[in-house]
Amino acid sequence: MKFNYEKLFNEVGLSDQERAIISNSSSESLPEREQAKVVADLYAIKVNKFMVDKLIESNEKLAVANSKYSKSLNILTSALVIVSLLQIIFNFFLNK
């Protein structure tokens, strides 16, 4: 009985090399559970790679957003310092 692995890989996809690995594992000399183990290991690797790629993409977006937030926070802090200095100057001259 040949294991149908195609359904498992619809989301993550298979390269030609990975297809070759699976077809080589489908020989008559290997028991069916060994063939299933090869497919399961390959699937786990593909899913992990897929998830790591998604995590990297998410972290890149987060870094861009964090950079924008940091720049705006620096601008607002500078504005607050300037307003505070102006308030000190005006209070100094008004109390004279």
Measured between its terminal Cα atoms, the distance across the chain in Å is: 98
Phi, psi of 8 (to 5 degrees): -65, -30
Q: Which positions of the chain have pLDDT values less than 70?
A: 1-12, 26-30
pLDDT, residue 4, reads 64
What would the pLDDT profile of 53-68 be if each residue is shown by its tens digit?
Answer: 999 999 999 999 999 9
pLDDT, residue 10, reads 66
Beta carbons of 13 and 42 less than 8 angstroms apart = no
Task: Give the start-to-end residue ranges of the domains of the chain.
Answer: 16-68
What would the pLDDT profile of 43-53 be if each residue is shown by its tens digit?
Answer: 888 888 889 99
Q: Tell me the DSSP string of 25-68.
A: HTSTTS-HHHHHHHHHHHHHHHHHHHHHHHHHHHHHHHHHHHHH
pLDDT, residue 34, reads 78
